[in-house]
Every structure is written in C-alpha cells, then in structure tokens.
C-alpha cells in the first residue's frame, strides 16, 4: 500500500496570491460556515496538503462504490461511462493509499471482462457494441495480475477492437455517446482518439494504427474540451504546445473548464483536464492545475460532484449518469495531480 502523499505547492517558482474560490465567496455572502472554503482557499494560495485531497476523495468513495454496484445489479450494463470509470477511480484511490473495498474492485474487473464477452439480447457479443468500453477496460486494468484466463479474455477483446475499426479508420461511438451535446462527427473523432490513446502497440497493430492516424488528421474538432484534451495527449512535442495553449486559455476565471468549451465549469471536464495536465506536468500548466484543484475541492457536494447531462436532451439539469461520471473524473484528476505534484517537488 502506498503511503499517503504530501501535496506541496504545484510549482514553488510561482508567486501565488491568495484568491477566494467561488465557494468562499458564496459562503461569505450567505453567512455559511463551510469547511470547503478553508480547503479551497488553501489550494488557491498554493498551500493545500494531500490530506485535503485525500479527504475529499475518501468522502466520495462510498458513493462511487454504492452507485457503481447499483449500476451493475440493476442495469447489468458494461457501459462506456460507468463501470470502467468506477474501476479507474477506485484503483487510483487504492494506489494512493486510501481505504477501498478491494474485493469489490476485483469483482468489478471480473464482471466487466465476463460481460463484454457475453452475447446480448440480439445475440451479438457485447464487446462488438461497446468498443469504447473495451479500450477503457484494457487501459484501466493494465498492470493488474492476470491469469491465463484473463490473458485469453484480453486477447479476445483486442481482436474485437481491431475487427470493429471502420474502413475510414474510425470507431463508432457506443451507447449514449452519439446523443451528446456536440456534433456527432466530433463524438466519433473523440471516441476514435481515446481508443488510439488507451491502446498499446500490442492491442492495436501498426496497420490499424496507421488508418486511425489518417482519420484523426483529417479534422480538428473544436466544440468540446474533451476533444482538446485527447488532441494534446496524442500530439507530438511540436503540436502539443499549441494545443496546450488553447486548453489553458479556455480555463474559466473560477479555475474550471466546461464540457463544451466556454460553458460553465463542471467537474467532469475539469477532472479530465486536470488529469491530462498532471500526466504532462510542467511549469506552464502548474498554476492551471493549482486553480483546478481549488475549484474541484470547493464544488464537492457531500459525497459527489453534481454535473449537468452531456446529452442534448439533459444538458440543462443535473443528471445521475453525468454526476457519477463527473465524480469519477474528479477523483481521477485530483489523485493524478497530487502524485504529479509530489514527483515535481522531489
């Protein structure tokens, strides 16, 4: 078990002034004694401790566990927006030394592999209808112990993934993704880009990878923050700086990002961006990461981060799936930033 880390200032070279988070302003206006205010203000000042991040994450783990299990029991669906993110968030918390239910985590992993390789009601193998989820599962379980049966399952999923590539090099988005509040071609581009990012050379061979690269190079989607994120992750060194600049310019005054570029901040987009920035941690994004951590810590509602729907018909109200998805991304981003900050400070 990894010991609890100490989150130091993301960059000691920055001259950071104390700025009040939105939670602090709201609490002052309403006369509230909100513990999130002190936590967010410490983050805004660059002085947050890992204990603040870990306390927020630990508070959300029962919600992630309960609603993750509910989805499996009631929906029986290995979706592109739920169980793989349950696994990712809880596994990240486990690596950070937080208290998690490892038995449940292992059961989720087993259930996900088994479910993807079962036929659905139309007698189609589930994996062939959810290739987004296939790539996600391969990514989030990479490095976990795997017996011969699991290795066989992974090879089967790789085969389905390669067989599911379209002639133009893309993969079709699954589930609710085509209904999201952005142009469908952009969603197809984003799904394809994530599959490219999440898979190794062993999982996606050179011919398939080449067709993917040609498809992705043919357009540069602009609507969603997620598109910018995955463009940055896949970019070479020369292009990454330009995409990173666009991403940093999109950061809202409150420290967050909107799922659609320019819209109000939400935990899903902010968690995604924070995770991606922390993966490529450098001085250029240090202040942005600090502000994103502060915003996320100020916005936690009890054991979750409430998020409005990403689907067109649910975009104006807080929605259960988006809230769960956003809470998982908030946890993933916060923990990645914590680890990255400690590494940079060593």
**Cβ-Cβ contacts under 8 Å for 210 (sequence gap 6 or more):** 169
- Dump pLDDT digits (tens) for 83-137: 999 999 999 999 999 999 999 999 999 999 999 999 999 999 999 999 999 999 9
Q: Calculate ∠ Cα 183-186-188, nearest 5°.
A: 115
Whole-number percent of the chain with pLDDT over 90: 77
**Residue entry with tokens 């391969």:** 138
- Dump pLDDT digits (tens) for 53-94: 999 999 999 999 999 999 999 999 998 899 999 999 999 999
- Dump pLDDT digits (tens) for 297-321: 999 999 999 999 999 999 999 999 9
**Residue entry with tokens 């400690």:** 342
CB neighbourhood size of 187 (10 A): 23
Specify whether the CB–CB gap between 118 and 125 falls below 8 A. yes
199 pLDDT band (50/70/90 cuts)?
A: very high
Cα 61 → chain centroid: 15
Separation CA 195–CA 191 (nearest Å): 6
Beta bridge mates, 308: 318
143 pLDDT band (50/70/90 cuts)?
A: confident
Write the CA distances from 10 to 22, 41, 142, 234, 253, integer angstroms: 21, 15, 28, 24, 19
Query: Does 291 score more than 90 pLDDT?
Result: yes
Mean pLDDT over all residues of the chain? Answer: 88
**Residue entry with tokens 């450098």:** 282
Query: Does 152 score more than 70 pLDDT?
Result: yes
12 pLDDT band (50/70/90 cuts)?
A: very low
Helix (H, G, I), strand (E, B) or coil at 259: coil
- Dump pLDDT digits (tens) for 255-288: 999 999 999 999 999 999 999 999 987 788 999 9
**pLDDT for residue 342:** 82
Separation CA 118–CA 32 (nearest Å): 51
**pLDDT for residue 41:** 61
Specify whether the CB–CB gap between 177 and 187 falls below 8 A. yes
159 pLDDT band (50/70/90 cuts)?
A: very high
End-to-end CA distance of the chain: 20
Query: Does 40 score more than 50 pLDDT?
Result: yes
Instruction: Go through the domains of the chain in sequence order and give each one's CATH number.
Output: 22-345 (1.50.10.20)
Tokens of 26: 């709201």
**pLDDT for residue 42:** 56
DSSP for 15-80, written as a single string: -------HHHHHHHHHT---HHHHHHHHHHTT---HHHHHHHHHHHHHHHHHHHHHIIIII----T
Specify whether the CB–CB gap between 37 and 27 falls below 8 A. yes
- CB-side neighbour CA atoms (13 Å) of 16: 24
């Amino acid at each position: 078990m990894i010991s609890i880390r100490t989150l130091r200032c993301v960059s000691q070279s920055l001259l950071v002034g104390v700025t009040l988070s939105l939670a602090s302003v709201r609490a002052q206006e309403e006369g509230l004694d909100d513990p999130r205010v002190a936590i967010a203000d410490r983050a805004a000042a660059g002085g947050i401790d890992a204990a603040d991040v870990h306390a927020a994450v630990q508070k959300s783990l029962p919600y992630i566990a309960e609603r993750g299990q509910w989805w499996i029991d009631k929906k029986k669906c290995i979706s592109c927006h739920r169980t793989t993110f349950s696994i990712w968030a809880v596994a990240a918390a486990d690596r950070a030394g937080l208290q998690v239910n490892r038995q449940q985590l292992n059961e989720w992993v087993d259930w996900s592999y088994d479910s993807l390789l079962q036929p659905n009601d139309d007698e189609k193998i589930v994996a062939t209808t959810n290739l987004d989820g296939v790539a996600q599962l391969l990514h989030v379980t990479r490095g976990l112990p795997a017996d011969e049966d699991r290795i066989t399952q992974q090879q089967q999923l790789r085969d389905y993934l390669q067989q599911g590539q379209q002639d133009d090099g893309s993969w079709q988005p699954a589930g609710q993704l085509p209904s999201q509040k952005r142009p469908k071609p952009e969603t197809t581009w984003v799904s394809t880009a994530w599959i490219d990012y999440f898979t190794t050379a062993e999982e996606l061979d050179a011919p398939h990878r080449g067709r993917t690269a040609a498809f992705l190079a043919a357009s540069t989607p602009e609507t969603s923050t997620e598109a910018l994120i995955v463009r940055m992750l896949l970019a070479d060194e020369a292009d990454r700086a330009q995409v990173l600049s666009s991403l940093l310019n999109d950061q809202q005054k409150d420290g967050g990002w909107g799922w659609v570029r320019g819209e109000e901040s939400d935990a899903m987009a902010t968690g995604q961006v924070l995770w991606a920035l922390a993966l490529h941690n450098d001085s250029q994004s240090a202040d942005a990461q600090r502000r994103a951590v502060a915003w996320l810590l100020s916005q936690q509602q009890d054991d979750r981060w409430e998020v409005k729907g990403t689907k067109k018909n649910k975009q104006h109200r807080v929605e259960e799936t988006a809230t769960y998805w956003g809470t998982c991304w908030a946890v993933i981003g916060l923990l990645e930033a914590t680890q990255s900050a400690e590494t940079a400070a060593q």
